[in-house]
Amino acid sequence: MPRLAANLAYLFADRPPLDRFGAAAAAGFRAVELQYPYDQDPAAMRAAIVRHGLVMLGINTAPLPGAPSGIAGVPGRESEFAALFERAVSLVTALGGRTIHCLAGVVPEGEREAGEATFVENLRHAADRAAAHGLIILIEPLNTVDRPGYLLTRAEQAAAILDRVERANVRMQFDFYHQQIMGGDLLRRFERHLPLIGHVQIAAVPSRAEPDEGEVNYAVVLAALDRLGYAGFVGCEYVPRGRTEDGLGWAAPWGVATAVS
Ligand SMILES: O=C(O)[C@H](O)C(=O)CO
Ligand SMILES: [Mg+2]
């Protein structure tokens, strides 16, 4: 059965950050992912994770002023990326987490080949650093509607990058929301890339709300993940229509509870 993880940048976001861990555990989530928890106290977050018996998954590399979508694939910013990555390693290690999503960044049309080469080199260096801590690096293709100009947009492109990086601890984060927008054919593409996939995320398309509406049938998708042998967590990275608890009906078959009040 798919194991659901709460993305606490999106879910329970009506609460202060430290209160979201308990809310996720109370709803039945067994794991959490955090995105950008750089302004929070790592020891307090770790204590909350342990207190609520949660598995801590991953964080993202931090955004920079003028570069909210990262710089891992931006030529000329390699030393800044190395520093960003070290910061992510320290934080995720303090949280007891497992993965760092390295955001590639926005790269102008004429520089995308150079951007990919930079991304590959940066990922190789980062992978070697990550290996020393037993960490996995994730790269995630994002859709061009929400992120115009983002370097990494399709699962096929991510697979080609991973092929060039040649490091087993660098893997693809397959977000069904983004990949539906960038070509669809979700189950075939997921299966084709499964050996490279390190994490999965879901949200309705096109609303990015609870995965119980829109053009993707997530009951079918989640059953397929099981059938195909995906053993990782499924990150719930959606924007709740209202209170998170009130929209969890879709997750009841997967062990997460709906609101009682
Ligand atoms: O937006 C997404 O889908 C990502 O998972 C992310 O972390 C980039 O902000
Ligand atoms: Mg995502």
The CB of 33 under 6 Å from ligand 1? The reply is: no
Three-class SS state of 190: helix
Nearest CA to ligand 1 atom 1: 142
pLDDT at 258: 59
- The tens digit of pLDDT for each residue in 77-96 reads 999 999 999 999 999 999 99
The CB of 207 under 6 Å from ligand 1? The reply is: no
If you measure from the C-alpha of residue 202 to the centroid of ligand 2, how many angstroms do you get, rounded to a whole number? 7
pLDDT at 256: 84
Question: Where do we find the tokens 């951007």?
Answer: 115
- The tens digit of pLDDT for each residue in 47-75 reads 999 999 999 999 999 999 999 999 999 99
Q: Does the active-site annotation cover 80?
A: no
Neighbours of ion ligand 2 (CB under 5 A): 175, 201, 237
Q: State which amino acid sits at residue 54.
A: L
pLDDT at 254: 83
Q: Which of 33, 116, 237, 245 is catalytic?
A: 237
Nearest CA to ligand 1 atom 7: 35
Angle at 211 between CA 226 and CA 97, to 5 degrees: 65
Q: Does the active-site annotation cover 140?
A: yes
Look at residues 156, 172, 152, 234 and name the one whose alpha carbon lies nearest to residue 200: 234
Q: The whole model's pTM is what?
A: 0.96
The list of the chain residues with pLDDT below 70 reads 257-261
State both tokens at 184: 């669809």
Three-class SS state of 198: strand
The CB of 143 under 6 Å from ligand 1? The reply is: no
Q: State which amino acid sits at residue 186.
A: L
Q: Helices 112-131 and 78-95 meet at what angle, rounded to 10?
A: 40
If you measure from the C-alpha of residue 232 to the centroid of ligand 1, how many angstroms do you get, rounded to a whole number? 18
Look at residues 98, 100, 91, 184 and name the one whose alpha carbon lies nearest to residue 137: 100
Domains of the chain as residue ranges with CATH: 3-254 (3.20.20.150)
Q: How far apart are CA 70 and CA 134, in angstroms?
A: 23
State both tokens at 80: 């800044």
Q: How far apart are CA 254 and CA 241, in angstroms?
A: 20
